[in-house]
């Protein structure tokens, strides 16, 4: 495997040196937050903790409380519009980069801002992802995210420009126009949500949609291994997934040269440890999980001192891996590709917890399934009914409807543990994603939590 290093000395160092660097930077962030940030100071005071008493990373993770969306929302409501956590940055009279969350969860829109100096540092984080994906400054990239107040789009655009790529911001065009621009300008890379990469491939007249492309970078949503593998086959280039959020104000986990890996040994999203401290914790105990175990992602920035982000529980679950999991031997921890999912996306159906990514992995393992939609209803006794409607690529793709439906239903029963009613639709009968995939419709009388 050819290594593509962004920072040779850090990427070939050892875990002990990386952890020492993390703690050094953590102390600086903690001191700055205690001195200038009322939001965090009040959180820690309520927990009986002073920043000066944190003696190690282990001490930090055991004693500093996590913050969540509801903490940010309460801060904004008490001190609108930005909350106490932005007061210090706003007082500096420095250019600010303002982003918001989408609010699609129904829990409100968070505001997260960075000073321009923090934003420049964030671009250094993104440089690792671009370099590992095979891009170098001067290469060209299509950024296929709408550029609005949302973090998604702004984050990628600033990261690509900061790394030195020639950026084509195409996110506000329709699919036909994007494909036309791909053919005209022949970029080296493209960034998009993974579901929209699938949409472009499905509506393209030819596969791959761009013959000169050398890499894809997908993010913004979860996706199982089968779905990611399908994208690499449709586009005929490697896919480099990434992870971040509006709260982190930059993507900070990227795959190395192995990209998605293999079904038996999936790739790893390496956290850029010199810039972020990433934990995966047990939801009940709050303790860091072991290699190969699942938990909730908790993130701390090691360079945001104007608007800190300290022990933010992301609401995403993932399978944690120590650095030794990946054969690239970088001393950065991370999570398994294809394992990330929103905790609140989990559905309980017929008493079974179901993650949408598990359904993806089953259905997109069938070459002739283009798209699907799940509808949850209640019968007259208020028991759950689960129906999956499948859209094939074309009518000749399924020669024996009954046999194919039975095969799909058996695969779902084996993997998920409950029975689904499987219906076969016609090509074009289901909507395609124009942004992030929305494949579940829950009409149940009593939606289970």
Q: 3-class DSSP state for residue 362? A: helix
Rounded to the nearest 10°, the torsion over CA 108, 111, 112, 113 is 170
The confidence score (pLDDT) of residue 380 equals: 73
pLDDT tens, position by position, 103-128: 655 456 899 999 999 999 999 999 99
Q: Dump pLDDT digits (tens) for 408-430.
A: 999 998 888 888 999 988 888 88
Q: Where are the alpha helices (DSSP H) in 133-278?
A: 151-163, 175-185, 194-203, 225-235
**280 backbone φψ class: left, alpha, beta (φ>0; ψ -120 to 50):** beta
Region of residue 43 (phi > 0: left; psi between -120 and 50: alpha; otherwise: beta): alpha
Distance CA 317, CA 338 (A): 11
Give the model's pLDDT for residue 395. Answer: 65
As a whole number of angstroms, the longest Cα–Cα distance in the chain is: 69
Bridging pattern class, strands 341-342 and 347-349: unpaired
Q: b or e along 103-138 (b: 16 or more beta carbons within 10 Å of the residue's beta carbon)?
A: eeeeeeebbbbbbeebbebbbbbbbbbbbbbbbeee
Per-residue confidence (pLDDT) for residue 103, from 0 to 100: 64
Contact (CB, 8 A) for 340 and 280: no
Angle between helices 356-363 and 401-416 (to 10 degrees): 140
Q: Return residue ranges of the chain for CATH 3.40.50.12780.
A: 1-254
pLDDT tens sequence across 384-396: 888 999 998 876 5
Contact status, residue 10 vs residue 135, Cβ threshold 8 Å: no
Per residue in 368-396, is it b (16+ CB within 10 Å) or e — as a string? ebbbbbbbbeeeeeeebebebbbbbeeee
pLDDT on residue 446: 58
Beta-ladder partners of 297: 280
Phi/psi for 444 (5° steps) reads -65, 145
Instruction: Tell me which residues of the chain have a pLDDT lower than 70.
Output: 103-108, 381-382, 395-400, 433-436, 445-449
Quote the CA–CA distance of 235 and 230 in Å, as a whole number: 9
Confidence at residue 449, expressed as pLDDT on a 0 to 100 scale = 46
Residues of the chain with CATH 3.30.300.30: 347-442
Contact indicator for 103, 347 with CB cutoff of 8 Å: no
Element (H, E) at 255: strand 250-255
The CA-CA-CA angle for residues 394, 416, 296, to 5°, reads: 110
Q: Which CATH architecture fits 1-254? A: 3-Layer(aba) Sandwich (3.40)
Q: The tokens 């070939």 sit on which residue?
A: 12
Buried/exposed code over 150-160 (b: 16+ C-beta within 10 A; e: otherwise): bbbbbbbbbbb
- Could you tell me whether strands 421-424 and 166-169 are parallel, antiparallel, or unpaired per DSSP bridges? unpaired
Contact 405, 370 (CB under 8 A): no
Contact predicate 165/316, CB 8 Å: no
- Architecture per CATH, domain 347-442, reads as 2-Layer Sandwich (3.30)
């Amino acid at each position: 495997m050819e290594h593509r290093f962004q920072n040779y000395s850090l990427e070939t160092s050892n875990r002990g040196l990386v952890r020492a660097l993390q703690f050094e930077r953590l102390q600086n962030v903690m001191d700055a937050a205690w001195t200038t940030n009322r939001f965090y100071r009040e959180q820690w005071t309520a927990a009986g903790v002073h920043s000066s008493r944190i003696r190690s990373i282990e001490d930090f993770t055991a004693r500093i409380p996590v913050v969540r969306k509801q903490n940010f929302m309460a801060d904004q409501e008490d001190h609108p519009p930005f909350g106490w956590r932005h007061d210090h940055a706003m007082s500096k009279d420095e250019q600010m980069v303002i982003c918001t969350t989408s609010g699609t969860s129904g829990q409100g829109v968070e505001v997260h801002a960075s000073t321009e100096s923090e934003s420049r540092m964030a671009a250094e984080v993104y440089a690792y992802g671009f370099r590992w994906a095979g891009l170098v400054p001067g290469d060209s990239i299509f950024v296929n995210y709408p550029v609005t107040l949302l973090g998604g789009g702004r984050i990628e655009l600033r990261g690509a420009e900061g790394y030195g790529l020639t950026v084509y911001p195409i996110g506000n065009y329709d699919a036909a126009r994007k494909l036309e621009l791909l053919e005209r300008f022949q970029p080296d890379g493209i960034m998009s949500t993974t579901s929209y990469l699938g949409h472009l491939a499905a509506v393209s007249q030819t596969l791959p949609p761009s013959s000169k492309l050398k890499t894809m970078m997908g993010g913004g949503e979860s996706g199982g291994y089968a779905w990611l593998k399908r994208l690499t086959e449709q586009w005929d280039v490697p896919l480099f997934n990434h992870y971040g959020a509006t709260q982190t104000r930059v993507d900070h986990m990227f795959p190395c040269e192995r990209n998605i890996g293999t079904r038996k040994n999936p790739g790893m999203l390496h956290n850029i440890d010199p810039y972020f401290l990433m934990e995966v914790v047990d939801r009940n105990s709050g303790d860091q999980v072991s290699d190969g175990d699942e938990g909730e992602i908790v993130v701390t920035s090691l360079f945001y001192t104007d608007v800190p982000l300290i022990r933010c529980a992301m609401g995403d679950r993932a399978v944690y891996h120590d650095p030794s999991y990946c054969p690239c031997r970088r001393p950065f921890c991370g999570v398994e590709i294809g394992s990330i999912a929103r905790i609140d996306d989990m559905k309980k159906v017929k008493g079974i917890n179901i993650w949408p990514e598990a359904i993806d992995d089953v259905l997109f393992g069938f070459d002739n399934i283009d798209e699907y939609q799940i509808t949850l209803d209640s019968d007259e006794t208020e028991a759950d009914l689960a129906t999956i409607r499948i859209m094939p690529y074309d009518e000749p793709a399924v020669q024996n409807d009954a046999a194919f439906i039975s095969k799909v239903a058996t695969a779902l029963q084996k993997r998920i543990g409950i029975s689904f009613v499987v219906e076969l639709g016609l090509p074009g009968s289901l909507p395609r994603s124009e942004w992030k995939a929305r494949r579940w419709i829950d009409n149940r009388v009593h939606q289970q939590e």
